[in-house]
Structures are given as C-alpha cells and as structure tokens.
Amino acid sequence: MLKKYLLLFLIPTIGLYLMTVQAEPIKTPPQAAIASAHPLATEAGKQILLQGGNAFDAAVAVTAALVVVEPYSSGLGGGGFWLIRDAGKNKTIMLDGRETALAKATQDMYLDSTGNYIPNSSVNGPLAAGIPGTVAAIVHLSEQYGVLPLEQFLQPAIHYAEQGFSVTEHYQKMAQFRLSVLQSYPESTRIFLHNNQVPEIGYKIVQTDLAKTLKQIARTGGKDFYQGFTAIKMVNAVKKTKGIWQLDDLKNYRLKERQPITFAYRDMQIISAAPPSSGGIALAGILQILQNYNLQSMKQAQQVHLTVEAMRRAYRDRAEYLGDSDFVKVPVKRLTHPFYAQGLAAGIRLDKATPSDSLSGIIKAPEGQDTTHFSIIDT
C-alpha cells in the first residue's frame, strides 16, 4: 500500500483537488514523487526526503519554499488546506489553516458612509488581511506528523530568501497584474520590483527580512510569529496603515483538523477537502454527475460538453450553498449524494449548452489565478 500521501491546496481563491484510493491495493511506488508550482520548491522537498524526512516533512519544506519563490500565490501572511494521508495508521485528515477574521471586524467595514462598497477595500490594504494560518499549519505538520526538526526543513526556504531567486516570465506576469498595488507600498516596491517597475527576467528577488522571520519560526516553533516580537512588529505595522489587528488576534489563532469529504466515483473512493473549502463538494458534484454517462463511448466534443455542464452546476451550487461551515449550515450530505447528482444531470441536454445565467445563484465575477497546489508521496 502507499505509505504516505499529502496534497496541499493554498487557497486565496477556490479550486479543486483530490486524493484517490483505488479499490485494489496499490503496490509501493519505486520512488517518492513531488509536484509543485515552482522547481525550487520541488527541489526543497526533494532535499528533505533525501535527508530521511517523510512526506509531511517535505510538505513543510515545500510550503516554506513557495512562501519565498511564489509570493503572488503563497505567503506567511496567508493560509490554506493540507489534505494528508498516513496509510500506515489508516488516517486521513484535512488541516484547516485558513486565515481568520479579526476581533474588530464588522459587517460594514468595507462600506462608505452611504453604505456603498469601497472598491478593492476587501482585497487590498490593511483591512483586507486576515490572521495568517500558514505558520501554524507548518508547525503542526512538523510536530504531529514529521520526523525531522522544523529548523532542518526550513533551511531551503531561508537560503532562497537570503540568496534570492530569479524572476521568470510568470513572475513578470503576476507582478504586472498587481503593479499598481505593489507601487503603493514602499516595502513592496523595494522587495518585489526593480526601479519601481516589473523586474527583467533573471533579476534576483532577495527577501532578507523574510529570511529572518523564517529563522525565528524555526527557533521558536512558531511562537514568536503569534505571540512574540514578530507578532508585535506585524500588529504595529498594520495599525500604522489604519488596520485593526490586535495582538490577541494572533495569540488566539487556532489550526483545526477536519474530516475530509469522501465519496465514490465509479470504482474509486475519492477523498477531498471539506468545508470551509468548497473543493471537495464541488468535485463530488462534478464527478457524480459525469458518472451517469458512458464518457468513453462518446466523441471528445461531447465529453467536453458534459464536463462543462457538470462543472456549471457544481459551481452554481458552490455560489448558492457554500460558506464558512463554522458559521453557516452547509448541506454537505445532500450536495455530495449521488441521487442529488442524478437530479442535476436530468437537466442537461446533450445537444445544447445551458446558459449560465439561467441557473439561480450564479454571480458573474472574475476568478483569480493566485492559488497554488502541491502533491507529495513517499515510499
């Protein structure tokens, strides 16, 4: 059987991810495997595996490396979900390390005096920042599931931060996308731009302050980030820009372990993310709609048509029913039941696309491209 498997979904936006367990036992793989969005992050995980670490140790190394080399999709100031599987213990858990709201947050904090939304106030600036969960997650992974010391697998990230990483075309694209925001803050300009503009390919992005923070996390097991000098510096910096962070917001942050979503698709068992992520529920809806059709007997165009129709309905349900499960009731059993999917499939026509605006709950809004995923499996 597979010994360990871990998949990460850092989630400033919404996406789908899954872990499959075949009906028949899987033979032990000949070697470990890592897939991430950046070669330096993949290399960081590889180093840890070669040093005797397990998949969870490597996950911490990859997470920390992505914090450094993929600042447009990852960060110590963000959060995510880590779906982990330890086959030796027959244990599957989802770590919920998403950001949490501030104690002083209010329902009208993004509205002006006339009750209208202040453009971009919920995505840019100090009021847009929640309390980070990434640090709590990597410490928890290290302490509860890893075998090597935290300091050891933060070393690759610290090295990348101190020595710098090279700008790529993708970095240029993402920096250009957020250029005006980066130019609005002197420190962002100093770190992520060159001469106040998008850096040229090959330019080194050096983050010495981030390296110091990572060293503090390694030295204190994350305590400094939530209760020490680093916490004080963050709160003071946020308050200077009219933010509402308090030290207790950081001190009171708690990571949560949740039971993943599990459902069947044909002859496979799928294990995926539970709320407050929408990924597992959306995936269940899509696949359970599609299993009502013999896709292999169809031409490619019809396969694509049915996949789009299934996704259209799953994403409608996401908009209609999904929310923070700690505060609203999400009908998980209904949305992941095959009978419900059969009902959704009944409204699909094989000869005609369904207009999205004909489905209730659809909100036309641009989707970002700032989510990262990685997968690790050890032998």
| CA angle, 11 then 17 then 19, to 5° | 135
Helix axes 279-290, 338-345, angle to 10 degrees: 60
Sign of torsion over alpha carbons 96, 98, 102, 105: negative
According to the model, what pLDDT value does residue 343 have? Answer: 94
Per-position pLDDT tens, the chain of length 379 = 333 434 444 433 333 333 333 344 555 667 889 999 999 999 999 999 999 999 999 999 999 999 999 999 999 999 999 999 888 888 899 999 999 999 999 999 999 999 999 999 999 999 999 999 999 999 999 999 999 999 999 999 999 999 999 999 999 999 999 999 999 999 999 999 999 999 999 999 999 999 999 999 999 999 999 999 999 999 999 999 889 999 999 999 999 999 999 999 998 989 999 999 999 999 999 999 999 999 999 999 999 999 999 999 999 999 999 988 899 999 999 999 999 999 999 999 999 999 888 787 666 655 555 688 999 998 7
According to the model, what pLDDT value does residue 371 have? Answer: 81
According to the model, what pLDDT value does residue 47 have? Answer: 95
Domains plus CATH for the chain? 25-257+370-378 (no CATH), 260-358 (1.10.246.130)
Q: Where does residue 95 fall: left (phi above 0), alpha (psi -120 to 50 degrees), or beta otherwise?
A: beta
C-alpha–C-alpha distance, residues 379 and 374, integer Å: 17
According to the model, what pLDDT value does residue 365 have? Answer: 59
- Residue 174: partners with Cβ closer than 8 Å, 6 or more residues away: 72, 73, 369, 370
According to the model, what pLDDT value does residue 21 have? Answer: 36
Cβ contact 215:158 at 8 Å: yes
CA separation (Å) from 307 to 104, 109, 287? 43, 39, 9
**Token output for 107:** 């329902």
Identify the CA nearest to 224 among candidates 248, 245, 244, 251.
251
According to the model, what pLDDT value does residue 28 have? Answer: 61
CA 101 to chain centre: 17
Phi, psi for residue 252 in degrees, rounded to 5: -90, 0
**Token output for 378:** 């050890």
Provide the H-helix boundaries in the chain.
39-50, 55-69, 134-145, 150-163, 169-177, 179-182, 186-192, 208-220, 223-227, 229-240, 247-251, 279-290, 300-321, 332-335, 338-345
Catalytic residue among 100, 371, 372, 379: 371
pLDDT in tens, 155-210: 999 999 999 999 999 999 999 999 999 999 999 999 999 999 999 999 999 999 99
According to the model, what pLDDT value does residue 233 have? Answer: 96
Phi, psi for residue 346 in degrees, rounded to 5: -65, -25
Q: Could you confirm whether 189 is annotated as catalytic? A: no
